[in-house]
Structure 1
C-alpha cells in the first residue's frame, strides 16, 4: 500500500509499508530518485549513519543494537518498518511509527510529507512515552546521477564550514578538517543549516535545505548520489547525544526546492 500526492507537475509516492520512504519523486514525468526497495528517500531514525560496533551509551548504561552493516549498526530501524497512515489530502500526508524492541525506549516518530508545485517538505518528530533517551533523525535520499535528459551527471555544490575526518572504520575521528574534494562518503558541519544544490545540466536544479547542522554527502556509486540532512553526525548517539525528553521532542525538517532549466 502506498500514498500518492500531486501538485502541478510534481508527483510523490510514499511507501509507508517499506519504511515510509519516498519511493518516487517525479517532476514533469521525470523520476529523480533511484528506484528499488532499498532506495528512494528513507527516514533515518532513531539514529543516522553508523553506530560504532552497534553500541551506544546512555549514562552508565550500554545498549547493543543489531549489527546490520558489520561491524556497525546503520541508519536506524524506521526504514525497515511499516508506518501507519495518520491522515492525507491531495498534497499532504502524515504517518506514525512506534519505537519498539530492540530499541530500548518507548516513543513515537511522526513524519509529515508536504508537496507543492516547486517543493517537497519532509518533517519528522521523535517523542518519548516515558524516560528521556538519545536519538537522531534525518533523511537518506538516493538521487539519480543522470536523469537521462542528455545533460550528463549531476553536479553538487555546497559550502560547509568543515568536514569530519573519516577514519578507516568510516566513522568520524573527532577531528574537524578543511573540506576536501570528492568523491565523498563524509559528514560535513553546516552551523548555519544545510544548503546543497544539485544541478542536472540542461534539465533541473534542486536545492536541499534544512535547519539541521549536519549533512552527509555520498557520491561513490555510479547510479546515484545522496545528500543526507541529519540532526547529528554518524555515531552521534555516543559523541554528540541529543536527548529526547517529555518536554523537548526532537524535530527536524528538510525542503527540496526545484527549478526547471529548460
Structure 2
C-alpha cells in the first residue's frame, strides 16, 4: 500500500464555495484552503508538507535550543541547527474534539521534549469570506513560558497573473543578527527580502494582494509578525505572541489562572 493510501484522512470544512482541509494527525496542519477554484496555500513538495501549521509552544528559533525559566535551564531538540525552531505541535498527532460543517477544534497534551505539562487547543472557524484561528495553552500544574502562532505558506503565484504583493505598516523591525535571531535592537523597517520579525503595537495587519485575482488580509490582536519571502514559490505571514527567541527575551507565562490565548483572522475578497 502506498504512503498516500496510508495517509490519515483530513477534516474537511466548507462554507459557500470555500473549502479547508486540516489534518490532526499531521500537526493539525491546514493542508488546503480553496477559495472557489483557487488553492491559496503551497502544496506538498519534495517530501515537505507546507500548508499552514500551528507554532506551539514556541515560535521561530530558540537560541541553541536552550531556554531558561528562572534558574531552570531546558534543552530543546535542535531541529534547525544550531537552533530549535517552530515548536513541537507541528510534529504531534492532535485529537479532534469538535467538528461540524464549518468549524472544528483539536487538542494535544504537552509532553517530552517539552518539559512542562499542559494542554493546547486549536480551533478553526470558516465562513465564505473569513477564516478565524484560535489557539490556547493551559496548565493545571507548574507555570511556564510559552508562545503560540501560525505559519502559513501562501502561494506566491496563484497559477496565472502577477505574483503576490505584500503591504503592511510596521512600527519597527527587530534587527536580525547573523544567527537569524533578533539582536535586541529595534530598527526602521527595511525593504524586502525578509526573514524578519516586525512590531505592530496596534495589532498585526498585513495584506496580500494577487492583482486582479484575490486579496487576503491577515489580522491579529497580537503585535508580532514574522514575514518570510525568500523563496520563489511562497511567502509567509506569521502572527505570533512574541518574537523569535522570545522564550528567553520576552517570556509570557502560562499559569493555572492565566492561560495563553491568541487568535488570527484571514479575510478575503475576490478581485477578478
Interval containing the TM-score (normalised by the shorter chain): over 0.9
Paired position in structure 2 for 1:257: 267
Residue of structure 2 in register with 1:211 after alignment: 221
Which residue is equivalent to 1:19?
27
Q: Distance in 1 between matches of 2:227 and 2:19?
A: 25
Which residue in the other structure is 1:99 paired with? 110
Q: 2:180 aligns with which of 155, 158, 170?
A: 170
Tell me the residue number matched to 1:148: 159
Paired with 2:262 and 2:204, the residues of 1 have a C-alpha distance of 12
Q: 2:235 aligns with which of 225, 232, 246?
A: 225
Name the CA distance, whole Å, in 2 between partners of 1:38 and 1:196: 24
State the shift of 1:2 in Å.
1.0
Query: Over residues 100-148 of structure 1, what are the superposed CA-to-partner deviations in whole Å (9 max), with x where a residue is unaligned?
Result: 0110000000000000000000000000130100000000000000001
CA distance in 2, matches of 1:78, 1:174: 27
SS in 2 for 1:248: coil
- Secondary structure at 2:25 match in 1: coil
Distance in 2 between residues matched to 1:9 and 1:227, nearest whole Å: 24
Looking at structure 1, the residues matched to 37 and 118 of structure 2 have their Cα atoms a distance apart, in angstroms, of: 38
Which residue does 2:40 correspond to in 1? Answer: 32
- The Cα offsets for residues 221-253 of structure 1, whole Å up to 9 and x where unpaired, read as 000000000000000000000000001000000
Map 1:1-262 → 2, pairs under 5 A? 1-36=9-44, 37-149=48-160, 151-262=161-272
Partner Cα separation in structure 2 for residue 168 and residue 240 of structure 1 = 20
Deviations 1:38-92 (A, max 9, x none): 3100000000000000000000110000000000000000001110000101000
| Deviation, structure 1 residue 29 | 1.5
3-state secondary structure, aligned to 1:48: coil
Q: Provide the rounded CA distance (Å) in 1 between the counterparts of 2:151 and 2:140.
A: 26
Q: Output the TM-score relative to the length of structure 2.
A: 0.95
Q: C-alpha distance in 2, partners of 1:209/1:97? A: 25
- Equivalent residues, number: 261
Detail structure 1 runs of 4+ shifted over 6 Å in the superposition.
Answer: none
SS in 2 for 1:238: helix
How far, CA to CA, are the matches of 2:33 and 2:236 in structure 1?
Answer: 14
